[in-house]
């Protein structure tokens, strides 16, 4: 008998996960699974860090169950990327994933094929976004637009003098309205310029 974990999620505290629980318990009974754990989150699926899901994944790594049942794909995650990350980890741990609404079971060949198709679509979407960004950058460059952050317009000599007077990096960053990292970089570049 396979050990099953149920994962339930609702978006707000006003919503109740009982409907999901009823469906998933019925599915587990129908498949002959023993329910060994139930995990619930009451927060948005857009958040990748969720206490219930985090506990489920920790317990999965410790081999506490063989299959995860969810009411629907969107209960695990709102983004395809996060959904695939969770599925990838479960697959790596040899834990099956079953979705009640989509009727997908990664224990069978059709379910595994569905996950591969979803992954391929997600990868295609990522590549199309990257290509659109690159095309936009090429167009902007051809139109003479400067890309990236504006250059820092800082008097390096004055910065070096203020540092020599004993000002801290934080004081310099505030005075020149730049980050501490920029202060260090500018001071190093002015020192290397002095050495040359």
Structure tokens at 191: 């020192």
CA angle 77/117/46 to nearest 5° reads 10
122-168 pLDDT tens trace? 677 778 888 998 998 899 889 988 887 777 788 888 888 999 999 99
Kindly name the residue from 11, 48, 182, 190 that is annotated as catalytic.
11
Domain boundaries, the chain: 3-119, 156-195
Single pTM value for the model: 0.59
Chain length of the chain: 196
- Are 60 and 68 in contact by the 8 Å Cβ rule? The answer is yes
The 8 Å CB, 24+ separation contacts for 161-165 are 163/187
CATH (residue range 3-119): 3.40.50.1390
User: Can 44 be counted among the known catalytic residues?
Assistant: no
Give pLDDT, residue 14: 64
Work out the number of other CB atoms within 10 angstroms of the CB of residue 119: 16
Per DSSP, helices labelled H in the chain are 18-31, 51-61, 73-76, 80-92, 109-142, 156-164, 169-176, 180-195
Rg value, the chain, Cα:
27
Among 10-14, 80-84, 123-127, whose mean pLDDT is lowest? 10-14
Mean pLDDT of 114-118: 75
């Amino acid at each position: 008998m396979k050990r099953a974990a149920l994962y339930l999620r609702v978006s707000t505290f006003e919503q109740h996960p009982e409907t999901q629980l009823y469906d998933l318990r019925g599915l587990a009974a129908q498949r002959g699974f023993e329910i060994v754990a139930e995990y619930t989150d009451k927060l948005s699926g857009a958040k990748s860090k969720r206490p219930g899901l985090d506990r489920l994944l920790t317990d999965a790594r410790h081999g506490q169950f063989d299959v995860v049942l969810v009411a629907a794909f969107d209960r695990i995650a709102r983004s395809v990327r996060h959904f695939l990350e969770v599925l990838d980890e479960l697959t790596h741990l040899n834990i099956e994933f079953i979705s009640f609404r989509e009727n997908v079971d990664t224990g069978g060949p059709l379910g595994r094929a569905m996950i591969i198709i979803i992954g391929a679509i997600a990868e295609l979407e990522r590549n199309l976004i990257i290509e659109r960004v690159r095309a936009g950058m090429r167009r902007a460059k051809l139109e003479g637009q400067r890309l990236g952050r504006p250059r820092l317009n800082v008097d390096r000599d004055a910065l070096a003098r203020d540092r020599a007077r004993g000002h801290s990096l934080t004081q310099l960053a505030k005075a020149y309205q730049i980050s501490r990292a920029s202060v260090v970089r500018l001071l190093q570049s002015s020192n290397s310029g002095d050495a040359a």
